[in-house]
Amino acid sequence: MGRVRIIPVLLLNKGGLYKTIQFKKTTYIGDPINAVKIFNEKEADELILLDYTASIEKRGPDFKKIAEIAGEAFMPMAYGGAIRSLDDAKKVFDAGYEKIVLNSVLFEQISLIERVGSIYGSQAVVCAIDVKKNWLGKTKVFAYSGTSSSSYTPVEWAKRLEQAGAGEIFLNSIDRDGTWDGYDTDLIHSVAYVVQIPVVACGGAGSMDDFKAAVTAGASAVAAGSMFVYQKKGMGVLISFPSQNKILI
C-alpha cells in the first residue's frame, strides 16, 4: 500500500485565481494568498500554481507575485507559466518553489528539461501534457492553453519527454477540465504504462471515487481544481479539501 498524493491546482491570471471549463469559460475565484492559507490548514500534499494565460499573452512570470504566494505555503509548490529559460527557472526556484512545470516551451526547446534537471535534479522538472480531441476527432497534445495543436499523440509526447529527462508528467484532459465527469482513465492508462516516471492525472475529478479510478488506471498522483474550489450544488465558490485526503491504494 502506498499513500497517494492529492494536489490542488490553482490557476493564476494577473494576480487573481480563476477556474476554467475545458480551458475556455473562466470564473474568478478569489485571492491566491487566501487559497494557499486554506490549503495549509487542510494539509494538502502539494500545490500546483499555473499562470495559464502567460504564454499565450507572451508575458513572463510575475516573479514578485509568485514569490509572495510561495511565502505563505507550508507545503511543496510547483509553478508553471511562461518559463522559457534556465534563468526563468532559477528565479522560480529562488522564489521558493520545489518544482517547475514546463509545457508550451518544450515544443521549441525540449533541451530545457535537461538543462534545468542537470542543476536542480530531474524530480524538479514536471512536464505538462494538455490533451484533447481535434476537429478530426483524433486525440492530440495541445500547447498555449489548448489553442495550438501539435502532431503528437499523448503517448508519443510522453515517451519523448521522458527520454529528454522529465521527472514527472502532469497529464491534463482539456475535454474533461471543469466538468466533474471523472478523469479520462483510458488516457491515463495509455500514458502511465509507457513511461517509468510518475504521472499526475488532472481534468474532470468530482469525487474520491474518481481519484481511486485514476490511480487504478496508473496515475501516481491526482490533481484537481473545481472539486476543491466549488460547492457542487449551485457551483458557489467554496475552497475546500476532502477530509479523507490521505487515501491509500
pLDDT digits (tens, 9 = 90+) for 56-108: 888 999 999 999 999 999 999 999 999 999 999 999 999 999 999 999 999 99
What is d(CA 57, CA 177) in angstroms, rounded to the nearest whole number? 21
| 72 domain-assigned | yes
| 240 domain-assigned | no
| 239 domain-assigned | no
C-alpha grid cell, residue 153: 499523440
| 242 domain-assigned | no
What is d(CA 96, CA 89) in angstroms, rounded to the nearest whole number? 11
What is d(CA 169, CA 245) in angstroms, rounded to the nearest whole number? 21
C-alpha grid cell, residue 104: 508550451
pLDDT tier at 40 (50, 70, 90 boundaries)? very high
Domain extent at residue 104 = 5-229
Residues annotated as part of the active site: 130
Mean pLDDT of 166-190: 96
Tally of structural domains, the chain? 1
Amino acid occupying residue 182: G
pLDDT tier at 232 (50, 70, 90 boundaries)? low
Q: For helices 63-70 and 86-94, give the axis angle rounded to 10 degrees.
A: 30
Say if residue 246's pLDDT is above 70.
no
| 247 domain-assigned | no
| 236 domain-assigned | no
Mean pLDDT of 6-31: 91
10: phi then psi, degrees, rounded to nearest 5: -110, 130
Q: Which of these, 88, 43, 97, lies nearest to 67 by C-alpha position?
A: 97
| 206 domain-assigned | yes
pLDDT tier at 37 (50, 70, 90 boundaries)? very high
What is d(CA 200, CA 190) in angstroms, rounded to the nearest whole number? 13
| 172 domain-assigned | yes
CA 21 to chain centre: 15
CATH code for the domain of 152: 3.20.20.70
CB atoms within 10 A of CB 197: 19
Using DSSP bridges, classify how beta strands 221-224 and 5-13 pair: parallel, antiparallel or unpaired: parallel
Q: Which of these, 157, 152, 129, 127, lies nearest to 140 by C-alpha position?
A: 152
